[in-house]
Each structure stands twice: as structure tokens, then as C-alpha cells.
Amino acid sequence: MNKGKVIVVSGPSGVGKGTVVKELIGSNEDCALSVSATTRSPREGETHGVNYFFITKEEFTQKINNNEMLEYAEYCSNFYGTPKDYVLKSVEQGKNIILEIEVQGALNVKKIIPEAVTVFVMPPSLQELEDRLRGRGTETDEVVKQRLETAIDEIKQAPQYDYIVVNNTVMQCVADIVSIIIAERQKTENMLDFIKGVLNDENA
Ligand code: 5GP
């Protein structure tokens, strides 16, 4: 069986990447989400083990020391990290694993796993991004301002990603990411075992 792909999805806060990723996973059974660990407090409606593993700073540090994190980063005064085991095992089992992480972590993953595919989700405009951030209503003015400034810094790093998609509508954005995954999986380097199998008559 072919290995799955690590697909890293980033984008500024408020761009709607959470919704895009949820839809992507809901509609593609060969895709699964990596649940990150974080030291930030849960927002209303968030569940431990589903949205994040909400842990203390001490627990987070321990996981780093035990080499349990594929990558981690500090973002807006909180720590976020990707548990390594789940990602590596799932990819071995042929699943495409989606990491919804910020820029610093994404670039680190690309260094550690060069065959990972990085995708940056752009807003149609900065105004639209601000509207979406305010519309969410979960953040104070100060936090919105801080996140917008961070967003601009993040967008400046978008050219370092393998692919850029624009979230005009969720469905279009998901369709774009699905086509990226299909194209990546069909790359010759990923099909060599299949070719060998055909020649040895093992794929029948
Ligand atoms: P939020 O607090 O809005 O859920 O997430 C803040 C930022 O942290 C988002 O850009 C999100 O993609 C990123 N993030 C979530 N999990 C991880 C992770 O495991 N590693 C890294 N590097 N960033 C993460």
C-alpha cells in the first residue's frame, strides 16, 4: 500500500481554515486530522481530544523533552505542538494526515519531512479577514488587532509554501486542496511501487 501524505495547512487567524479542514476531512475518508496539543485555554464549544489536547505548560515541556512532538511553536503567548506518533503511524497506514498549524511549525515540518506538502490558505482581502475575525465575536478588540498584525506577517511568508489556495468559498477551497492531494499522490515518485507491482503482476 502506498504511504499517505503529510499535508500542512496554514493561514492567518480568521481565514476560515478550521472550517475548510473540517469539511476536507468530513468529505474525504482517506484524510484525517492531527490533533495538536496546546497550552491555551479551550474556547467555548471546544473539546479536549477533538479540537486540541489542552495541557499545562509543564506537561507541554515534558512532551518536548520526551521527544513526543514532531514540531512545536509559540503563538500569541501560547504553545502549540503536533504529537509525532499519530502522524507517522497514520501515514504508514496510507492516510493523508492534515496538520493545521502556523507558519513557523509548517516550515519546520517541511525541514523534518521534505515530502510533506505545505498549503497556505489566503483570504480574498485583508478587509475580508478583519470582518471575519470580528464576526467570530470570540476575541476582544486588542486580540483582533494583535491577530491582524500577526496575519500580515504570516501572509508575507506565504511564498515559502508549496501551494496557495484562496478561501473565497469553503467548497471551492476544499476542492482546490483535494486536487493538490490527488496530484501529489499521483507523482511518479509515489507510484514506483505500483509500477513495480504491475510488472510483477502483484496488483491484480
Ligand atoms: P488557535 O488558538 O486559533 O486555535 O490557533 C492559533 C494558531 O496556532 C493557528 O494558526 C493554528 O493553526 C496554530 N496551531 C494549532 N496547532 C498547532 C501545532 O500543533 N503546531 C503549530 N506550530 N501551530 C499550531
Q: Is residue 134 part of a domain?
A: yes
Query: pTM to 2 decimals?
Result: 0.92
Is residue 85 in some structural domain? no
C-alpha cell at 172: 471551492
pLDDT beneath 50, residues of the chain: none
CATH of residue 30: 3.40.50.300
Instruction: Let me know if residue 173 belongs to a domain.
Output: yes
Give the domain range for residue 104: 6-34+96-203
Q: How much is the pLDDT for 103? A: 92
| The predicted structure's pLDDT at residue 13 | 84
Alpha-helix runs per DSSP H in 48-140: 57-65, 84-92, 103-112, 126-136
* Ligand 1 contact, 39 CB (< 6 A): no
Domains in the chain, number: 1
- Substitution candidate for ligand 1 out of 100, 112, 136, 147 with most atoms within 8 A of CB: 100
CA 122 to chain CA centroid, Å, is: 14
Q: What is the pLDDT of residue 102?
A: 92
Report the nearest-CA residue for atom 18 of ligand 1: 81
Say if ligand 1 is within 6 A of residue 40 CB.
yes
